[in-house]
């Protein structure tokens, strides 16, 4: 990861310190290194220097690429787990025999997981953490008219054949309810965080906004970075059996959100019908090796019509290494399926996305990490969060699906996220 970049404007000047390290792969070609750095600087201007308009973004990217990057960052960049994790320092010390059998088995599996990652004493000694890593993202497939005779499937790209978006991220955490993420992908930055009262996110193409309901932890923490939050989340789960994940025999724990929790995150225009989380724990090592979650939304459209959106995320977690006596996952893959179900079969669609991530640095108990590091932006506004993308108070869909006239479907025809919240955009929907 590159943390410093030379000053190409002045040879005798000091190097520039990057707020978010950038993967070295972005600088492989020495012939284009100056152009690469100029593009990064142009895309990462502050909000004051660059207004939140579609025109300003289109000037930096072609229409297809900006739509794809917005989709990737909106859905894959900073998703939250479905509910707050309890901050109990002893989540499994209670008598597990005083519960139904499937609940008792789940608590025993969580107890074995805590022992495998380092033990309760080691986990309770952590007050804060820092992590830095790199990501590769791609919108890999789009399927229009799914289920009909006119079904069209386009393989856009995947993480193995190149053409992906590269980026880096920095994570800070002080207790489960205080965290901050800065993620830069292909020069486009997204920030997200929680101050313990509200969870928020900020992108270059949208003003800052808060998620509905109580603040929730970042999903990336449950991908092997925060074993304590993982244990606290699954302490109220049930064991539904066994499953083989990549030829590894695992116990499967399931957590369904209660109706009251779903109602707190719903609104008059968006109803969260269900949200379920599955955790697969290795029978051999006791560690978490696979994390799944799926949620189904009903969004009101014009009149009495409604659209269903289903988002499913699956993360493979691997490469555990000991950091100060605690097992932390240093690599993994996440795949996302975003499906739309309309009134007719011809209006159905599915988009698939992929992400591969690696952790370069991890440290605990960071000195000098104050509450100021987790303050939300000054222009924070509360809005509705749908499929990881924000909508305003108007009853409209989070994406506009464009159906391709040919078998070749570009990223702009896959999904185009609305950039502004004006009435013009609403009329187009």
Q: Give the model's confidence band at 146: pLDDT under 50 very low, under 70 low, under 90 confident, else very high.
A: low
Helix and strand totals (H; E) in the chain: 9, 21
**What pLDDT digit, counting tens, does each position of 108-117 carry?**
999 999 999 9
φ, ψ at 323 (rounded to 5°): -125, 110
* Mean pLDDT on 399-428: 32
Residue with tokens 């669609």: 349
**What pLDDT digit, counting tens, does each position of 340-359 carry?**
887 666 667 788 899 999 99
**What pLDDT digit, counting tens, does each position of 28-58 carry?**
544 455 555 555 555 554 444 444 443 433 3
Structure tokens at 182: 């800065």
pLDDT score recorded for residue 397: 32
* Mean pLDDT on 65-81: 82
Q: Give the model's confidence band at 409: pLDDT under 50 very low, under 70 low, under 90 confident, else very high.
A: very low
pLDDT score recorded for residue 291: 97
Q: Give the model's confidence band at 161: pLDDT under 50 very low, under 70 low, under 90 confident, else very high.
A: low
The DSSP annotation for 206-241 comes to: EEEEE-SSS---BGGGGTTT-HHHHHHHHTT-EEEE
Angle between helices 101-117 and 227-234 (to 10 degrees): 170
* Residue boundaries of the structural domains of the chain: 1-38, 74-423
CA separation for the pair 266, 253 (Å, rounded)? 25
pLDDT score recorded for residue 62: 40
Residue 390 has pLDDT above 80, yes or no: no
Residue 400 has pLDDT above 50, yes or no: no
* Mean pLDDT on 156-179: 79
> In terms of residues, how long is the chain?
429
- Distance in Å from the first CA to the final CA of the chain: 41
Residue 15 has pLDDT above 50, yes or no: yes
């Amino acid at each position: 990861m590159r943390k410093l970049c030379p000053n190409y404007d002045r040879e005798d000047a000091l190097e520039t310190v990057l707020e978010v390290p950038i993967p070295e792969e972005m600088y492989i070609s020495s012939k284009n290194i100056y152009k690469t750095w100029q593009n990064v600087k142009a895309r990462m201007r502050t909000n004051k220097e660059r207004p939140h308009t579609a025109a300003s973004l289109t000037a930096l990217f072609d229409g297809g690429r900006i739509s794809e990057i917005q989709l990737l960052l909106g859905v894959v960049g900073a998703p939250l787990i479905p509910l707050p994790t309890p901050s109990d320092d002893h989540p499994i010390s209670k008598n597990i025999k005083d519960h139904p059998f499937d609940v008792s088995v789940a608590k025993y599996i969580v107890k074995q997981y805590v022992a495998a990652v380092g033990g309760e004493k080691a986990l309770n000694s952590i007050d804060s953490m820092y992590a830095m890593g790199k990501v590769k993202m791609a919108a890999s497939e789009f399927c229009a008219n799914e289920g009909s005779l006119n079904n069209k499937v386009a393989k856009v790209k995947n993480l193995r054949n190149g053409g992906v978006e590269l980026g880096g991220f920095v994570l800070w955490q002080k207790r489960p309810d205080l965290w901050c993420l800065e993620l830069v992908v292909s020069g486009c930055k997204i920030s997200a965080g929680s101050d313990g009262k509200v969870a928020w996110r900020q992108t270059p193409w949208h003003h800052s906004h808060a998620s509905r309901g109580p603040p929730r932890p970042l999903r990336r923490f449950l991908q092997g970075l925060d074993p304590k939050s993982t244990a606290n989340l699954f302490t109220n789960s049930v064991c539904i059996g066994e499953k083989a994940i990549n030829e590894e025999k695992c116990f499967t724990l399931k957590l369904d959100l209660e109706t009251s929790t779903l109602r707190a995150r719903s609104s008059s225009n968006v109803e969260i019908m269900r949200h379920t989380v599955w955790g697969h724990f290795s029978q051999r090592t006791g560690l978490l090796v696979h994390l799944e979650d799926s949620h189904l939304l009903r969004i009101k459209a014009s009149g009495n019509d409604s659209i269903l959106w289903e988002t499913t995320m699956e993360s493979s977690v691997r490469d555990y290494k000991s950091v100060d006596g605690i097992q932390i996952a240093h690599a993994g893959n996440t795949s996302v399926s975003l499906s739309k179900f309309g009134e007719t079969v011809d209006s159905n669609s599915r988009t698939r996305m992929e992400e591969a991530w690696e952790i370069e640095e991890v440290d605990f108990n960071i000195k000098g990490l104050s509450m100021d590091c987790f303050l939300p932006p000054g222009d924070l506004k509360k809005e509705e969060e749908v499929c990881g993308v924000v909508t305003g108070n108007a009853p409209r869909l989070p994406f506009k699906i464009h159906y391709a006239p040919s078998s070749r479907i570009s990223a702009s025809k896959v999904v185009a996220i609305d950039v502004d919240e004006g009435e013009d955009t609403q009329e187009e929907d």
